[in-house]
Amino acid sequence: MFKKLIVCFLLNLTIILSPFYSLADDISTSDNETTYEYTSSAAYKDSSPPTINSRAAIVIDRNSNTVLYGKNEHNKVKMASTTKIMTSIVVIENCDLKETVTVSKKAGSTGGSRLGIKSGDKCSINDLLYGLMLCSGNDAAVALAEHVGGSVDGFAEMMNKKALELNLKNTHFVTPHGLDKDEHYTTAYELAILSNYALNNKTFAKIVGTKSTTITINNTPRNISNTNELLGNLNGVYGIKTGFTNGANRCLVTACKRNDLDIISVVLGADTKNFRTTDSIKLIEYAFNNFKNINLSQLAYSKFDKWKEDNLDSFTIYKSSSNNPPLDLNLNKDNYDIIIPIKNSELENISCNITCNKNLIPPLNSNSILGTLNLYSENTLIYSKDIVLSSDLYSKNVFEYFVEILKKLSS
C-alpha cells in the first residue's frame, strides 16, 4: 500500500511540474537527438539556399540590414525566450546596473527555465541580466520587469514603446520572458532588426557574448553558463539568444562575423534542438560561402569615371567659356562608403545605367542635378545617385565674347 502511495505521489508530482519543464528554455538537451557538427560541411557550400526544418528564418547583414536569406520571415510567430533580447535592452537603457533588486514572491515562483532566485533574495541588476541572458532565467526576467517597470504589465508597456521606436510594427510583448501568450509575437525579420539594434549596445554585446561567468546572489557567488550551443563552438559566433516553449518550439538568434561580413541568423519554430542548431549552421555557412561585401560607392565611381571619359565630348554647352562641364556624383561625405553583400553568382551581373542631360545652358549653380546613375543586380535597383555639377557653370562674359570675335577675325 505504501509503495502505491509513493508511486501515485511521484506521478502527481510529474503532472504538476511538467508544464514548467515543457515551457523551459533548453532544460533537456536529449530529445533523442543525434549529435550535430559545428564545423562547415560541403553540404552547406552549395550556392542554392539550404532546406531547413524551422518554420521561419532569416539571415541579415548587420551593416546594411540586407536580407541574405528568408523563409516566412514576415509571419507573426511566438518567439519564446528570444523575448529576453528586448527585456535586456530595455533594462540596460533605463537603469543603473549597480542597483540592487529584492526578488518578489511572484518573481521567485516564476516557472520554466530559472536562474534559481527566490523571494527575498538580493541581486544586482547587472548580475540578473547575466542570469537572464545566459541561463535564460524567467525568474530573473520578472524580477527585472517589476524593478524597472513597476510591474510585469508596466514593463510590457516599455517593451512595446521601444518596439514602436524601432518601427517593429509586427511585434508585440506581453511578458518579459516569452512564455506563450496569444498576443505575444514577432517576426523573424523584426527579431533580427531588434537584435542588430541591441548588439550595438556594448553592455548587451558583452553579456550575450559571455560563455560562462560568476554572479552574486545574497553575497554568495554562483557560476552560470550560456545556453547558446553555438557560442564558442562555431567560428565567428559572438551571441546572442536561445529560446523554447511548446508554442514556439526551438528558437535561436545567432550573431556571427568572419572577416568583413557580419550577420545575424534567426531560426524560429524548429522541431528539435538538433534542427535548431543544424538549421543555424546551414544558414550561417550559406551566407559566408555565397556572399561578398561590395563597396557600391567605389563601384559607382569607377563606372562613372569611365562614362565621363567616353561622353564628355558629346556635351553641348551654350554661351559658356567651359568646354567640358565639371561633373560629379552627389555623394554624402558622411556616408561615402555604402557596402552591401552581393551573392557571388551575381557579382558579374551588376549593371550600370546612366542618364544625363548633355545640353546645358549656363548659368548653372554647383550641385545642379543633371542626371542619375543607377546600379542593378538582376534587375533590382541596389544603388542610385544623382549626377551633379561639382562647381558653378558660368555664361560667357563680355571680355570672353570680345576675345572670341578677335580670334575669328584673325583666322
User: Which residues are part of the catalytic machinery?
Assistant: 81, 84, 136
Query: From edge to edge, which strands make up the β-sheet containing 249-258?
Result: 67-71, 56-61, 261-270, 249-258, 237-245
Please count the other Cβ atoms lying within 10 Å of the Cβ belonging to residue 312.
13
For residue 266, give the nearest of 251, 256, 245, 281 by alpha carbon. Answer: 251
Residue type, 258: R
Q: 354: exposed, middle or buried (C-beta count within 10 Å: 0-12, 13-18, 19+)? A: middle
Cα–Cα distance measured from residue 201 to residue 93, given in angstroms and rounded to the nearest whole number = 9
Q: Which three cell numbers stand for residue 411?
A: 583666322
Cα–Cα distance measured from residue 214 to residue 341, given in angstroms and rounded to the nearest whole number = 39
340 to 68, 307, 388: CA distances (angstroms):
10, 23, 24
The DSSP string of 96-109 is -TT-EEEPPHHHHT
SS3 402: helix
Q: Within its chain, how far is the Cα of 94 from the centroid?
A: 22
78 to 56, 146, 243: CA distances (angstroms):
10, 23, 10
3-state secondary structure 287-329: HHHHEEEEEHHHHHHHHHHHHHHHHHHHCEECCCCCCCCCEEE
